[in-house]
Amino acid sequence: MPVADHVLRHAAVRPGRAALRGPLGELTYGELAERVSGAARHLLHRGAGPGSMVAIGVADPVAMLVSVLAADLAGATPLVGEHTWDRRRWARMIGAASVDALVDAPLPYVPGPAVEHVAAPGDRAWACFSSGSTGRPRAVVRTRASWTASFPHLDELAGIGSGDVVLVPGPLSSSLYAFAAVHALATGATAVVPGRRPAGSLPAFLEQATVVHLVPHLLPAVLAAPGALRTAVVGGAALDPRWRAAAARAGVRVVSYYGATELSFVAADTDGGGLRPFPGVEIEVRTAPGGELGEVWARSPWLAEGYLGGAAGPLRRDGDGWMTVGDLAHPYREGEALRLRGRGDGAIQTGGATVVPEDVEEVLRKVPGVGDIVVIGSPHPSLGSVVTAILEADGDGPPPRALLESVARSGLDVAQRPRRWYAVASLPRTRAGKPARALVAARLAAHDPDIRRLT
């Protein structure tokens, strides 16, 4: 069933129940259903109906969700991006895919009869960008079944119901936060969507929230705020056991999970006993002979269909329905906890976002004075990792850090911008002449005196 249909059903039963609360106000389920229906008619008049794709980037998170649900009701596939992207940026991001309409402002209401679309489980129901990449768009698309059929399982694991107020304190362009908001609406709960980086305003949003979806580094601030919070659903990076213990002392139950935009839910930890397969998921860790770590492969109904437009990315599949994005783990046997150890292809998990190093390197390599560059993730106590750039100077020395940061701001999304900058006279290289990323990371971790920090 389309999520929009869930909203319409909730509106018929409890039209006065608060559905969405955002920076600009609140909508009841009755009001939300009316706006979604009118916006869906507008999209249909524009020719965006069944089988089409609608790119959406709207500043107000409530208006964003109205647009997403309107596309869903019209039978189109919403492709969710950033509201800060201008049309040229959108063109770069979706260059390899076919998009039928771009929504960059709140949709108007068009009166008319009820919108009816007979949905099928295999319909494409959702698409979003896996890493906010620049120059290498990777839009992940999933079917309706893979998107919505997991909702009841999350309800059961986290104890989320229609009486809850669910805080979603992050940008809806993130699949983690978008899923949380849409799931809350499908359940009939109230979704509180303050948008990107509520920071100091978190306590105000938490006053009535009973559930929060968030990345690990936000959990301490949430626990420090008084309120009615009962459950925290945590994803996007590994959770420090100390924070789970702090949550228990505060009377907050933590449900943490491991997954990826391409794989959806893979494993969950509901009690601190370790990650166990999410309902419906099979897990394999495939290790090479004699290897201490192997790649995590998953097979489940929740897997994505793939990348739009044939874009390249970390997702791989075999002929038996298994998929991987290259994450590494210790050997795994059924009944044991899954012990993750990071991404095998060098992708950086930072504060819930996935950053592909090659995307960052492509932008920064163009800075005058940069001969070559390697981007890695450096450990961080709350974000999991931070993006770190080690550059090989070209000519008289490395360019000023201010210039590097200026280029990063203009060409990279927030999560992609390096927080630490280093320079080295010569990068170590492989036999093929490519920078040896693993060796650079090892030398940096060993505090190699030849790698100089830029200030």
pLDDT band, very low/low/confident/very high, at 132 (cuts 50, 70, 90):
very low
Cα dihedral 407, 409, 411, 412 sign: positive
Report pLDDT for 137.
54
Looking at residues 330-359, what average pLDDT do you find? 82
Cα separation, 215 vs 234, in Å, equals 5
> Domains of the chain (ranges plus CATH)?
3-329 (3.40.50.12780), 356-453 (3.30.300.30)
Torsion of CA 295, 301, 302, 304, to 10 degrees: 80
Tell me which DSSP letter residue 261 carries: T
pLDDT higher than threshold 50 for residue 431: no
pLDDT band, very low/low/confident/very high, at 230 (cuts 50, 70, 90):
very high
Report pLDDT for 134.
34
424 pairs with which residues across the strands?
A: 392
String of DSSP letters for 331-387:
---TTSPB-EEEETT--EEETTEEE-HHHHHHHHTTSTTEEEEEEEEEEETTTEEEE
SS (H, E, C) 141-168: EEEHHHHHCCHHHHHHHHCCCCCCEEEC
pLDDT higher than threshold 60 for residue 202: yes
Lowest mean pLDDT among 84-93, 129-138, 259-268: 129-138
Q: What is the mean pLDDT of the chain?
A: 89
Report pLDDT for 345.
64
Share of the chain above pLDDT 70, in %: 95
pLDDT band, very low/low/confident/very high, at 200 (cuts 50, 70, 90):
low
Q: What is the pLDDT of residues 56-110, one digit of tens each?
A: 999 999 999 999 999 999 999 999 998 888 878 787 777 666 788 999 999 999 9
pLDDT higher than threshold 90 for residue 122: no
Report pLDDT for 355.
81
* Single-letter residue type at 94: I
Are 144 and 121 spatial neighbours (Cβ–Cβ below 8 Å)?
Answer: yes
Cα separation, 426 vs 271, in Å, equals 48
Stretch (H or E) spanning 54: strand 53-56
Highest mean pLDDT among 177-186, 214-223, 343-352: 177-186
Q: What is the pLDDT of residues 1-55, one digit of tens each?
A: 689 999 999 999 999 999 999 999 999 999 999 999 999 999 999 999 998 999 9
Cα separation, 272 vs 239, in Å, equals 10
Burial class of 146 by CB neighbour count within 10 A (0 to 12, 13 to 18, 19+): buried
pLDDT band, very low/low/confident/very high, at 432 (cuts 50, 70, 90):
very low
Cα distances (angstroms) measured from residue 329 to each of 131, 144, 333: 22, 30, 12
Cα separation, 445 vs 310, in Å, equals 36
* Single-letter residue type at 357: P
Q: What is the pLDDT of residues 298-328, one digit of tens each?
A: 999 999 999 887 777 889 999 999 999 988 8
Cα distances (angstroms) measured from residue 118 to each of 46, 75, 121, 143, 439: 20, 8, 10, 15, 54
Coil, strand, or helix at residue 411? helix
Helix 61-74 with 3-13: angle, nearest 10 deg: 110
* Single-letter residue type at 312: A
Nearest to 426 by CA among 375, 359, 383, 371: 371
Lowest mean pLDDT among 21-30, 288-297, 364-373, 385-394: 288-297
